[in-house]
Amino acid sequence: MISTLQPPRSLSHFRSNPTLLLRYTSLKPLSSLSSQPVTHSTIPDQSQSPNPPSHSQILSTRHSLLSRHLTATQLAESFLTRLRLTEPHLRSFLHVSDSVLAQARELDEKIQRNEELGPLAGVLVAIKDNICTAEMPSTAGSRVLEGYTPPYDATAVRKIKELGGIVVGKTNLDEFGMGSTTEASAYQVTANPWDISRVPGGSSGGSAAAVSARQCMVSLGSDTGGSVRQPASFCGVVGLKPTYGRVSRFGLMAYASSLDVIGCFGTSVADAGILLHAISGHDRLDATSSKREVPDFSAQFVSMNLLESKPLKGLRIGLIRETLDDGVDTGVTSAVRTAALHLEELGCCVTEVSLPSFSLGLPAYYILASSESSSNLSRYDGVRYGNQVAADELNSQYMDSRAKGFGSEVKRRILTGTYALSAGYYDAYYKRAQQVRTVIQKSFKTALDEHDILISPAAPSAAYKIGEKKNDPLAMYAGDIMTVNVNLAGLPALVLPCGFVEGGPAGLPVGLQMIGAAFDEGKLLKVAHIFEQTLQNCRFVPPLIADEVA
The catalytic residue positions are 128, 203, 227
Per-residue DSSP letters for 427-479? IIIIIHHHHHHHHHHHHHHHHHHH-SEEEEESSSSS--BTTSSTT-HHHHHHT
**3-state percent breakdown (helix, strand, coil) of the chain, nearest 5:** 40, 15, 45
Q: Which of 340, 348, 417 is nearest to 377 (CA)?
A: 417
| Signed CA dihedral, 545, 186, 368, 412: sign only | negative
Exposed, middle or buried: residue 116 (CB in 10 Å: 0-12, 13-18, 19+)? Answer: exposed
Radius of gyration of the chain measured on its C-alpha atoms: 22
Q: Which of 200, 211, 125, 213 is nearest to 170 (CA)?
A: 125
Q: What 8-state DSSP symbol labels residue 297?
A: G
End-to-end CA distance of the chain: 31
* CA–CA separation, 384 and 404 (whole Å): 16
Contact (Cβ atoms closer than 8 angstroms) between residue 381 and residue 398: yes
* CA–CA separation, 410 and 415 (whole Å): 9
